[in-house]
A and B are shown apart, each in its own frame.
Chain A
Amino acid sequence: EAQVTQNPRYLITVTGKKLTVTCSQNMNHEYMSWYRQDPGLGLRQIYYSMNVEVTDKGDVPEGYKVSRKEKRNFPLILESPSPNQTSLYFCASSLFAQQRTSGYTFGSGTRLTVV
């Protein structure tokens, strides 16, 4: 089944403890992206990647890191999480960097709580 898989689905952590949220897609998509979803703010882009070893900042990149060493994986790294990073996170992928009719395929989300 074509899908974007995120892990974990739920995570509670403490301030300052490094964590990684994994994202993997099995569709050979070029483009991958991370979004955070907060009430009243919609989805805001954190980082995106056009292809292997090519990443760029989105609208809210502060406090996050990403890497794209393989085409299928795009992990999101929080080196020193803070409470304002408590949010619902989504990974998405698209066949081409210039996405059009196919749209994005989203994962099921990771709910992160930083205490």
Chain B
Amino acid sequence: QQQVKQSPQSLIVQKGGIPIINCAYENTAFDYFPWYQQFPGKGPALLIAIRPDVSEKKEGRFTISFNKSAKQFSLHIMDSQPGDSATYFCAASIRGTSGSRLTFGEGTQLTVNP
């Protein structure tokens, strides 16, 4: 059972376009929502993260929009570049007595054409 659903599975845009990746979750106990970026042959790396008491967070060309009532959040990449071509994972974290548990979405393979 996938607790965090991510779409689309793949996405192709032209340079300068604004790809949008969406995620939805069910568990209202999730309290931290990071996005990870993964290049081929590498491990995922933290890109940007948001807490549910904030509706938007921007870091450089990357923006997270968060809709707590709809239990959805999305990643927007402004002025996308070929170097942004990678797999993107959304995730949701829940605190537990054994530490935080991070649940990942299925991933989105983004291709930015020159």
A→B interface (CB under 8 Å): 4, 31, 33, 35, 40-45, 48, 50, 54, 56, 58-59, 90, 92, 94, 96-104, 106-109
Contacts and interface: CB of A to CB of B under 8 A. Distances in A.
25 contacts: A31-B99, A33-B102, A35-B104, A40-B9, A41-B2, A42-B4, A42-B106, A42-B107, A43-B44, A43-B89, A43-B104, A45-B103, A48-B99, A54-B98, A56-B98, A90-B44, A94-B100, A98-B95, A98-B99, A98-B100, A99-B99, A104-B44, A106-B45, A109-B42, A109-B43
Contacts of B105: 42
Contacts of B58: none
A48 B99 CA distance: 9
Contact of A45 (B2, B9, B102): B102
Given A97-B100, A99-B99, A108-B42, 9 more contacts: A33-B102, A42-B4, A59-B103, A96-B99, A97-B98, A99-B102, A104-B102, A106-B43, A109-B41
Interface of B: 2, 4, 6, 9, 32, 34, 36, 41-46, 49, 89, 93, 95, 98-107
B43 A42 contact: no
Given A42-B107, A99-B93, A106 B44 contact: yes
A33 B6 CA distance: 22
Contacts of A40: 9, 106
Q: Which of B45, B100, B101 has the most CB of A within 10 A?
A: B100
Contacts of A35: 104
Nearest to A50: B99
Contacts of A109: 41-43
Nearest to B90: A42
Contact of B43 (A31, A96, A101, A108): A108
B20 to A, nearest CB: 18
A45 B101 contact: yes
Nearest to A108: B43
